[in-house]
Structures are given as structure tokens and as C-alpha cells.
Amino acid sequence: MTPIRILIVDDSVVIRRLLSDTLSGDPALEVVGVASDGRIALAKISLLKPDLITLDIEMPVMDGLEALAALRKLYPKLPVIMFSTLTERGAAATLDALSLGASDYATKPSNTGSPAVAIERIRAELIPKIKALCGGMVALKFLPLPGFRPAVKARPRSNPRIEIVAIGTSTGGPNALTAVIPQFPADFPVPIVIVQHMPPLFTRLLAERLNTLSPLEVQEGKAGQKLQRGQIWIAPGDYHMTVVRRGAEFVLGLNHDPQENSCRPAVDVLFRSVARTYGANVLAVVLTGMGADGTRGSADIREAGGEVIAQDEASSVVWGMPGNVVAANLADHIYPLGGIAPEVVRRVAVRRGMAIAAHP
């Protein structure tokens, strides 16, 4: 297989060397060039013809956001991964970059950590994203999960009332959620709980941004918070989010249990908890994302009598998470991104015997 050609754009000599050495150590990857600012990067793209660009945000001459905006006009399909600092400023700029068309992001290792830890971080976080965005993991993405027995799709249904909507997403998720969440109307009658694979700070800022766009209240999850209609809760970075029952009430739980599917928060943890607490009264949605997080949880929801819908391949940045759900025969239906919110609203309305006005 031809190696994936990568252009590294960063003003730090240390970071350029660290990335070059680490990425070049993988036989599936080839670093074809480096650039110290956005202007140099734009000049090199036509010469080097990279398959993917890693792009720093804070650079002299032309920063990452300016470079990304210019790049998208010339190369709308070229995958770009932002390589940003794990700070509030870095997180905010990364969300700006995703809205401008960046494909994904990875966080820079801490300056206080050892080189060995930094290299391992890049191998664990950045390299899988490069391969997923460039199609290098297509052959792996639908392998059966160890010990996993998918539910049989055809089974009797009682069409129960939907009492909660649970959403799971990863790569491409912030933009997908920005497209989906504002479409839910102000009178949407059930709570929505979401896992988006993101570190701390990022999830809070994502919730705040979505809150400005949505008729519903969007917040980062809080332990002990009672679930009510008109609310959307996003799992905080580095915490699993669950739903637990206390008498007649349903409340959020947060925990720092071990990662699942190399993730915390994990979609499987949330889906498993809503299946356990709400039974058949769950509608789950699996949006774009790499990996298989959400597949086991979708099986739990289906086995409890709930429903699962998945985003289609054509509108997904990476069709790993929804693709694995479909491959396991766990999706009740598959929709393009633009059809997800209207279908959720329709199903909730039909199951609850009420009219809900779709938000324009």
C-alpha cells in the first residue's frame, strides 16, 4: 500500500521534529514536508501533493485559522488535522477550526512531559486519526468485536413511548452536532444526552456554543442533575456519563471508571445505562466517528426494546462508529446527517401521540 503523504505545519522546530520522527516511524505514513507558517504551507501543497496536513493554530505570518480558510477554498476535500494545545484558548480556536472545515484535531503533548510520553501520545491519538481520515483503516473497521453477539434485527416491537434520546459521536461530531442540535424545537418533550469524544475544556466550550444555536438548553453534564424535557446534556471530557434512576426521577451520574474502547467518556457506557434505566423507551443515534464505540451499547438498547438509528456513510467524516452499528445489524434505519433531527422529532412525536413542530 502506498504510504499516506503528510505535510506538517507548525512554527515550533521541536514539534516539527517530534511529529516527523514519530509519524515516519510508522511504515504506513510518509512525511513529505514541513512548513513553519500557513503561507509557506499553502505554497508547498501544490508541489508536495500531501494526502493530509497537520496544522498548528498559533503561528506567525499566517496562523492556522487563516491558513485553513484559504486552504479550504483551494482544496475543499484535503483532510486537515489541527494540532492544538490543551488550553481554553487552544480549545476555543480548535472549535473555530472545526467550523471552518478542519477534519479533526489532536492535542499537543504537555511541555512538562517526557519525550517518550509525547511520542506515545502521538502514536495513540494522532496516527489512528490520520489513517481513518485517509482510508488506511477501512479493512479493520468492521472486524467483529471479541465476545460480541449482535442482536437479531427482526424482532417484535411494541412501539413504546420514547422517553429519552441518546447520541454518540466522535470524529466529525462537533460539526454534526452543530447541524443536528439546532433543529430540535423548543417544545421537544424528552431530554437528550450526548457523548462526544473530547477532552476537558473542549466539551464545556462545545456545550456553550451549541447552547447559543439551539432552542433547547445545552449544558455539560453535572452529577446528580435531574433529567427534564427541554434539556441537552453533553458528557464532560475525561468522565463517563450515565443515567441512573432515583425513585421516579432519572438523574445524571459521572464517574472516572477505566476507559472503554480507549475512550472516556465512552458511548457504550452511556448507552448501556439508558438501556438499563429506560428499557424500551430509548431512541439512540450514532453519528460520525472512528472506531466501534457505541456498538455494544446499541446492542443493549436493541435488546431492551429500544431503537437505534445511524448516520449514513456519505455524510459521515469517518463511517466507523455508525458503520460498525450497521455492520452488526443493530441499526433500525440509516439517514444522512440532514435527515437525523427531523427523523428523531418524527419518531418521538409518533410514539408519544403528539404534534411537534420541527425547528427551521
Domains and CATH numbers, the chain: 4-133 (3.40.50.2300), 164-352 (3.40.50.180)
Is the whole model's pTM more than 0.85, yes or no?
yes
The confidence score (pLDDT) of residue 120 equals 87
Alpha carbons 356 and 345: distance in angstroms, whole number = 7
- 20 assigned to active site: no
Catalytic: which of 293, 300, 315, 316? 293
Catalytic residue from among 36, 197, 268, 316 = 197
Whose CA is closest to 230, among 174, 273, 198, 186?
Answer: 186
pLDDT at 24: 94
Q: Classify residue 231 as exposed, middle or buried by CB count within 10 Å of its CB (0-12, 13-18, 19+).
A: middle
pLDDT tens string, the chain, 360 residues long: the values are 799 999 999 999 988 999 999 999 999 999 999 999 999 999 999 999 999 999 999 999 999 999 999 999 999 999 999 988 878 888 899 999 999 999 999 988 776 567 788 888 888 889 999 999 997 544 444 555 655 555 544 455 567 899 999 999 999 999 999 999 999 999 999 999 999 999 999 999 999 999 999 999 999 999 999 999 989 999 999 999 999 999 889 999 999 999 999 999 999 999 999 999 999 999 999 999 999 999 999 999 999 999 999 999 999 999 999 999 999 999 999 999 999 999 999 999 998 887 665 555
Q: What sign does the CA torsion over 253, 259, 261, 263 have?
A: positive
The answer to whether 103 is a known catalytic residue is no
What integer pLDDT is reported at residue 280 of this predicted model?
95
* Secondary element (H or E) of residue 253: strand 249-255
Write down the pLDDT at residue 154. 46
Please confirm, yes or no, whether 273 is among the known catalytic residues. Answer: no
Whether 37 and 61 have beta carbons less than 8 Å apart is answered as yes
- The catalytic position among 36, 103, 170, 316 is 170
Q: What is the largest CA-CA distance in the chain?
A: 65
